[in-house]
Amino acid sequence: MRPIPTLSRAPGRSVRRLSLTLRRLPLGLCLGGLLGLLGSQAAHAQRLPVPSAGLPGFIAGMKEVPDPGLDYRVLFDLQSAAPARGPDPRLQTVARYLNSLAEYGVPPLRRHLVVLVHGAATPLVLNDAAYAAHGGAHANPNTMLIARMHAAGVQFRVCGQAMLARHLTPAQLLPGVQMDLWALSTLANLQLQGYAHIDE
């Protein structure tokens, strides 16, 4: 079998020779090679952890995308009040970021995402009854999104001092939410452990 020509010289002639060579190859080999070339980038993409959150927009040629070889330690710091209605857009951003890591092949073992909730954002992680009792007037609209992210490995932490100031108990938190001593200790500890701090 003749070697497949490159396109470095005389592109028109090389393409014709390539076409003739491919016709002589078994169909399975041609298709396998073609699919391998087309799917090399998407080969490591994984199922989206939170499909409803979608992905960031894509334009061909964009740089600085998630790197499957890096260990992602990211701390999202939420301290301002959530919007009055609907899921908090900041949590949607965290979910979309989680999805982008999966889409670009970052394995779950390299995804260490923490959402720290304190101050006026504290009600974000309350169960429905506590959320309604503390000014929400309805069920917590973030419950399903938080549960989905938690199932995908995202940690949710809440400031114990914010809980005390609002006379809240651990029983009023959503399942899986960890109560820390206070936000300051969490912020310091995680940043000293190499977490990138994203102030939302």
Give the C-alpha separation, 130 to 125, whole Å: 10
Provide the pLDDT confidence category of residue 20 given band limits of 50, 70 and 90. Answer: very low
CB 181 within 8 A of CB 60: no
Tell me which DSSP letter residue 7 carries.
S
Residue 3: predicted pLDDT: 40
Q: When comparing pLDDT for 30 and 87, which is higher?
A: 87
Q: Tell me: the pLDDT tens digits for 137-193?
A: 689 999 999 999 999 999 999 999 999 999 999 999 999 999 999 999 999 999 999
Q: Is residue 157 classed as helix, strand or coil in its secondary structure?
A: strand
Q: Tell me: pLDDT of 32 over 80.
A: no
User: What is 79-140 written as a DSSP string?
Assistant: -SPPPSSSS-HHHHHHHHHHHHHHHTT--GGGEEEEEEE-GGGGGGGB-HHHHIIIII-S--
**Which of these, 99, 125, 130, lies nearest to 183 by C-alpha position?**
125
Residue 46: predicted pLDDT: 82
Q: What is the mean pLDDT of the chain?
A: 82
Helix axes 89-103, 143-151, angle to 10 degrees: 30
Q: Tell me: pLDDT of 28 over 60.
A: no
Across 28-39, average pLDDT: 41
Q: In which element (H, E) is residue 177 found? A: strand 177-180
Q: Tell me: pLDDT of 10 over 50.
A: no
When mean pLDDT is compared over 20-29, 37-46, 47-56, 136-145, the highest value belongs to: 47-56
CB 101 within 8 A of CB 72: yes
